[in-house]
Structure 1
Amino acid sequence: MLAVVVAAGTGFALTRGPDVPPLTQADVQKQVEKGIADAQENARKAPTDAATAYRAALPSLVTITTTGVGAKGSQNGTGAGVVVSAEGTILTALHVVDGADTIRVQFTDGTRASASIKEQEAASDTAVLTPDTLPQVVVPAVLGGGAQVGDEVFPLGHPLGLTQSLSGGLVSALDRSISVGSGQTLKGLIQFDAAVNPGNSGGPLLNRDGQVIGIVTGLANPSEQNFFVGIGFAVPIATAGGVAGSPPQ
């Protein structure tokens, strides 16, 4: 046994090579700084959650324009919608298209089409549109679900006519109820703090993976000035998708 130990020790002595100098504090500091720099560079190259969500959902976004005649004469409106099936079915907010004489949609590839309301549900402010023309390639959104308070969310739409705009924030609360026109109450809504303005209505509320977790229905408007004051609301996709016949999420 002793011979074996000595032989092993001798082998170590022959193959060890030159001594390695001990690490100094300066060496350690250099390694730390290099690690931080590498991590920052990798983070810079990686897409943000917002960019990932935007790229995933943009091909399924549509612009909706409406015309109609109201108490004040001819009236035009603009909103958003999202393609949710390979057949081109579009989900939007009912108030975007309700009462319109004509409905036109434009897909992100530039294809324009007339559309009609296939289904609607006032209780959830949801409408399902069927366009009469489709793009060569239809890209439906991926539907998600299971939003939790504190989750990152991203409304995608056309606020104030600024097309294909993304904003970001957090889920502030769940199962909210709000009063809308004619004394109607919308229930079970997602409350979030990402900026939304007229033109966002009917557009998708996205999670960090670009999945649609809700359809934007409105914003808190205590001053009746119709601009964002820090609180938006969306119909959960399980509710809105049910109107279109999609399975619950």
Structure 2
Amino acid sequence: MMLYNTLTPGPDLLTEREVRDTVIQVMASATPPPPFSTQVYQVIQPSLVLIQTRFEGEDDERDEGLGSGVVINDRGDILTSLHVVDGAVDIQIIYADGTRSNGSVIAAQAENDIAVLGSDRLPEVLVPAILGNPNAMRVGDEAFAVGNPFGLYSSVSAGVISGFGRTFQPEGRDQTLEDLIQIDAAVNPGNSGGPLLNRYGQVIGIVVGIINPTEDEFFIGIGFAVPIDIAGSAAGIPPY
């Protein structure tokens, strides 16, 4: 036995530094990937726009409004909610790179609260969003809303799809919207017209409103979006 141990010595003992380096390496390999919300935001942010509007008010005063939109094709067409721009005397579009342009409504679907905007000036680098298939989604799947709530540019909120085929009548309007996606991702004034996204950052809907049984204008847990196959048809995008 002594002869064997002499001819076959045991392994060298690790130094304290080697132990520490090994632990760090193992811990690094076990670090989870970034959350889907981080990836979603990076994908959609270049395609998001802020919409500023002005409306004729009483006594020659002009009311101002805010909304969101998303670039959907190489022409620079922007999808948003019709109620964001309907009746506006001035529409300003601010792109992700800061480019500002006058905007105008070039198509509308009143029955779905969807508008398509054209822009007088495009940014040097135009990044259309990637459109997903809402029919591939299921209740419980992750859903992400990105927009400009209360004018806070390019904000992201995360939740899940709560249901499909919902009906919703916006407050103060006779119109009833149908076949909506219900979500619990937080949406607030300023989110209207912004994209609803799947975990890959693909647009699956356009946010149009929230259920609000109180007089407070903030999110209570039920938001709605028009599926992108319906909303996109206003811009000539063929259905899935």
Name the TM-score, length of structure 1 as normaliser: 0.83
1:162 aligns with 2:152: yes
Residue in structure 2 matching 1:122, options 110, 113, 133: 110
Task: Tell me the SS of whatever aligns to 2:239.
Answer: coil
Q: Which amino acid aligns with 2:35?
A: T
Q: Aligned-pair distance for 1:103?
A: 0.4
Q: Aligned-pair distance for 1:71?
A: 4.3
Structure 1 counterpart of 2:86: 98
Q: Which amino acid aligns with 1:131?
A: S
Unaligned runs of 5+ in 2: 1-6, 11-22
1:194 aligns with 2:175: no
Q: Which amino acid aligns with 1:196?
A: V
Q: Distance in 2 between matches of 1:240 and 1:186?
A: 12
Q: Aligned-pair distance for 1:38?
A: 5.2
Structure 2 counterpart of 1:82: 70
Task: Tell me the SS of whatever aligns to 2:106.
Answer: strand
Structure 1 counterpart of 2:39: 52
Structure 1 counterpart of 2:54: 67
Q: Aligned-pair distance for 1:37?
A: 3.7
Q: Which amino acid aligns with 1:198?
A: P
The number of equivalent residue pairs is 219
Q: Distance in 1 between matches of 2:210 and 2:107?
A: 24
Q: Which structure has the greater CA radius of gyration?
A: 1
Structure 2 counterpart of 1:148: 138
Aligned sequence identity (%) = 50
Q: Distance in 1 between matches of 2:24 and 2:52?
A: 53
Residue in structure 2 matching 1:211, options 202, 214, 217: 202
Structure 1 counterpart of 2:13: none
Residue in structure 2 matching 1:229, options 214, 220, 224: 220
Residues 71 and 148 of structure 1: CA distance in aligned 2, closer, same or farther (over 3 Å): farther
Q: Which amino acid aligns with 2:40?
A: A
Structure 1 counterpart of 2:169: 179
Q: Distance in 1 between matches of 2:25 and 2:161?
A: 34
Task: Tell me the SS of whatever aligns to 2:150.
Answer: helix
1:110 aligns with 2:98: yes
Q: Distance in 2 between matches of 1:190 and 1:141?
A: 19
> What are the Cα deviations for residues 27-67 of structure 1, in whole angstroms up to 9, with x where unaligned?
xxxxxx999845532x1xx2221111100011000000000
